[in-house]
Amino acid sequence: MRKRLFEIIEASRGEDRASSAYDAFMILVIVLSLVPLAFKGEHPALAVLDKVCACIFALDYLARLATADFKYGGSSALSFVRYPFSFMALVDLLSILPSFTAINNSFKVLRLMRMFRALRILRVFKFARYSRSVQIIGRVFRRSKDALLAVGSFALVYVLVSALVILNLEPDSFDSFFEAVYWATVSLTTMGYGDIYPVTTTGRVFTMLSAAFGIAIVALPSGIITAGYMAELSKEQKAEEEERVPALQPTAVRGLWQEGEDR
């Protein structure tokens, strides 16, 4: 019974209709749960919608907790302790709690969660369970973490050095080092809001060089992620092709060998 429940609530591989239907239902619930966040005021219909979605998410969380031993491939009781601390379980819990006080006001301890209404936006991350593309990107980030960390460190050094340079070139335009870091960050991303900008020729020349250099830095992680994504797609396509081609059974091999001998 629990094993069948686990098979249904886990992401479908396309063969289990019940699991596919559950995935489609949960995606619909996730989308509907985000609707109340698009409105500033409190509306009775939106409040009911949020309560219903929160109840469904809570039941889904309990079902995943009850089948945690199947998820980790063992019958150990530690699976039920390990699961609540997994990333997706924390996302589930944090996305439910802000709505939980609206369901039952007797939970006075959780009334402070009203302050964290924005935490419900974490429900967006629940799409990761049912989206193949998001799962691939997640694997790309895990496998390319060293290269991405190197690029991130390089970008951080660039921002700090640029901030120090512009702060000394334009002491009248920047009141603090934080403002210089803010300017360097928006220059790195080539956004340039225009609220803080250099006024001297030297500062503007440095800004042009900094913006051009920032384009190269921003392009580096894009190339790493794209290359990793294509590699993951190739691996999945290869695995699917191998699954479609049935392996020769030992009996079939012996039959072919015997046929060769008879000839």
pLDDT in tens, 80-137: 888 888 888 888 888 887 776 544 454 445 455 455 566 677 777 777 777 777 778 8
pLDDT at 84: 86
pLDDT at 243: 64
pLDDT at 158 over 80: yes
Q: By CB neighbour count within 10 A (0-12 exposed, 13-18 middle, 19+ buried), where does 49 fall?
A: middle
The band of 260, judged by pLDDT with boundaries at 50, 70 and 90, is low
Average pLDDT over residues 214-226: 83
**Residue pair 60/9 in contact by the 8 Å Cβ criterion:** yes
Residue % of the chain over a pLDDT of 70? 81
Full DSSP string of 85-128: GSHHHHHHHHHHHHHHHHH-TT-GGGGGGGGGGGGGGGGGGGGG
CA distance 38 to 101: 20
The band of 245, judged by pLDDT with boundaries at 50, 70 and 90, is low
pTM over 0.85: no
Where b means 16+ CB within 10 Å and e means fewer, 221-256 reads beebbeebbeebeeeeeeeeeeeeeeeeeeeeeeee
Average pLDDT over residues 32-40: 83
pLDDT at 75: 63
Residues 6+ apart with CB under 8 A from 8: 16, 18, 19, 22
CA distance 7 to 71: 10
**Residue pair 248/160 in contact by the 8 Å Cβ criterion:** no
Tokens of residue 214, six digits: 């920032």
Full DSSP string of 41-79: S--HHHHHHHHHHHHHHHHHHHHHHHTHHHHTTS--THH
**3-class secondary structure, 228:** helix
The band of 212, judged by pLDDT with boundaries at 50, 70 and 90, is confident
Architecture per CATH, 2-130: Up-down Bundle (1.20)
pLDDT at 263 over 70: no
Average pLDDT over residues 217-242: 80
Q: What's the mean per-residue pLDDT of the chain?
A: 78
pLDDT at 192: 67
**3-class secondary structure, 254:** helix
pLDDT at 38 over 70: yes
pLDDT in tens, 42-85: 788 888 888 898 889 889 989 888 888 888 776 677 888 888 88
Tokens of residue 47, six digits: 């409040």
Residue % of the chain over a pLDDT of 90? 2
Architecture per CATH, 143-247: Orthogonal Bundle (1.10)
pLDDT at 143 over 50: yes
Average pLDDT over residues 176-202: 82
Tell me the domain boundaries of the chain.
2-130, 143-247
Tokens of residue 182, six digits: 């803010």
Q: Greater confidence, 190 or 147?
A: 147
Question: Residue 124, by phi and psi: left (phi above 0), alpha (psi -120 to 50) or beta?
Answer: alpha
